[in-house]
């Protein structure tokens, strides 16, 4: 049984009958490979099982949590209902109970309203709010939030695309002169991130990055390509969207090889209408495009300090 099926049945058959009269939303949200549907038998060795997120009014959280702890059975479909996790050694039920705001802030640190706030959110954090299935949401509050977080505002998206192409322009010439494992990895990372951007799909963290991209038709074929073909495939998508007309590549001085054409990035930047986005440092992009340190990228309080990279500051209470 896959984790999502277990969670859905756990909600409908064991949890929902206990919540009569309690307004709530429910889904399999947060962390875990099963949220993305990527779990397998190996996944069951930790943090897998009867997991669920229940979103209720703030004043109901304690009562609902205690009710579930008291009334849920010991097992469901042969799986324990109470178990420890890697972040909590206490053996207890794993139907997380929170408010919509509390849950969202626990994953994101802030609800983005400005370009820089969007750029400081890694895809994995956004997936923990937007990717998993929602089993019930009568009020629609959480569903509305997920729709709002589904993708970047247009100009922020254009900025990340332009920045990703700029990074390719910076790295690709080095490959021809001193290609090695480090450069190969960096170039592949830039290419794959651009593919996610063009698919308008939040990237999963490194364990599942390629599997998650490969679930799309474009991504499945893209991952089979060498870097030169991948570059051309990305460029073809940009052209098909009417975003660029410049060729994908250009000669690198007189050295006899080609690199990514910087005019492509310039044409992408030129589409940006929002003055705040247009003023951002070129070539940075989102936090995932310049930082791969998990201790920073997935700690929202540290990310607040990272706003300085864009020449800005954010409220420390974010």
Question: How does strand 25-27 pair with strand 134-137?
Answer: antiparallel
**Domain limits of the chain?**
3-98, 154-310
What is the model's pLDDT at position 250? 84
Strand partners, 82: 93
Radius of gyration of the chain (CA): 22
- Helix (H) / strand (E) containing 58: none
Residues across the chain: 318
What's the mean pLDDT in 34-42? 92
Each residue's pLDDT tens digit, 261-281: 999 999 999 999 999 999 999
Percent of the chain topping pLDDT 70: 97
What's the mean pLDDT in 25-40? 95
Residue 98 scores a pLDDT above 60: yes
Percent of the chain topping pLDDT 90: 81
Average predicted confidence (pLDDT) for the chain? 93
Q: Look at residues 195, 197, 182 and name the one whose alpha carbon lies nearest to residue 292.
A: 182
Between 174 and 53, residue with greater pLDDT: 53
**What does the alpha-carbon distance between residue 285 and residue 303 come to, in Å, rounded to a whole number?**
14
Other beta carbons within 10 angstroms of residue 119's beta carbon come to 28
- Confidence label for 316 from pLDDT (cuts 50, 70 and 90): low
What is the model's pLDDT at position 315? 62
Q: Look at residues 265, 191, 268 and name the one whose alpha carbon lies nearest to residue 233.
A: 191
C-beta contacts of 199-204 below 8 A and 24+ residues apart: 200/151, 200/157, 202/123, 202/124, 202/126, 202/127, 202/130, 202/131, 203/123, 203/124, 203/288, 204/36, 204/123, 204/124, 204/127
Each residue's pLDDT tens digit, 171-209: 887 776 676 788 888 999 999 999 999 999 999 999 999
- Residues near 255 by Cβ (< 8 Å), separated by ≥ 6? 176, 177
Residue 254 scores a pLDDT above 90: no
What is the model's pLDDT at position 40? 87
What is the model's pLDDT at position 245? 98
Residue 318 scores a pLDDT above 50: no
Each residue's pLDDT tens digit, 117-152: 999 999 999 999 999 999 999 899 999 999 999 999
Predicted structure pTM score: 0.93
């Amino acid at each position: 049984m896959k984790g999502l099926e277990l969670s859905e049945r756990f909600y409908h058959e064991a949890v929902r009958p206990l919540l009569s009269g309690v307004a709530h939303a429910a889904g399999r949200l947060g962390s875990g490979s099963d949220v993305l549907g990527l779990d397998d038998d190996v996944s069951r060795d930790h943090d897998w099982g009867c997991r669920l997120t229940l979103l209720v009014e703030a004043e109901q959280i304690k009562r609902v949590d205690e009710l579930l702890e008291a009334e849920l059975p010991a097992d469901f479909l042969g799986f324990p209902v109470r178990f420890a996790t890697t972040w909590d050694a206490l053996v207890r039920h794993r139907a997380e109970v929170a408010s919509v705001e509390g849950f969202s802030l626990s994953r994101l640190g802030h609800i983005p309203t400005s370009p820089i706030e969007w750029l400081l959110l890694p895809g994995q954090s956004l997936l923990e709010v937007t990717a998993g299935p929602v089993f019930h949401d009568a009020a629609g509050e959480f569903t509305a939030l997920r729709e709002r977080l589904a993708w970047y505002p247009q100009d922020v998206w254009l900025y990340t695309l332009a920045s990703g192409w700029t990074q390719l322009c910076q790295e690709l010439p080095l490959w021809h002169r001193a290609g090695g494992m480090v450069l190969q990895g960096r170039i592949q990372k830039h290419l794959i991130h651009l593919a996610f951007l063009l698919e308008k799909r939040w990237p999963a963290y490194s364990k599942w990055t390629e599997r998650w991209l490969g679930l799309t038709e474009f991504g499945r074929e893209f991952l089979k390509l060498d870097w030169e073909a991948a570059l051309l495939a990305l460029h073809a998508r940009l052209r098909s969207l009417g975003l660029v007309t410049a060729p994908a590549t250009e000669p690198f001085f007189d050295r006899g090889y080609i690199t990514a054409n910087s005019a492509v990035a310039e044409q992408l930047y030129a589409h940006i209408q929002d003055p705040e986005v247009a003023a951002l440092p070129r070539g940075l992009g989102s936090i995932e495009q310049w930082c791969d340190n998990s201790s920073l990228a997935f700690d929202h309080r540290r990310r607040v300090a990272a706003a300085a990279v864009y020449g800005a500051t954010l409220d420390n209470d974010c």
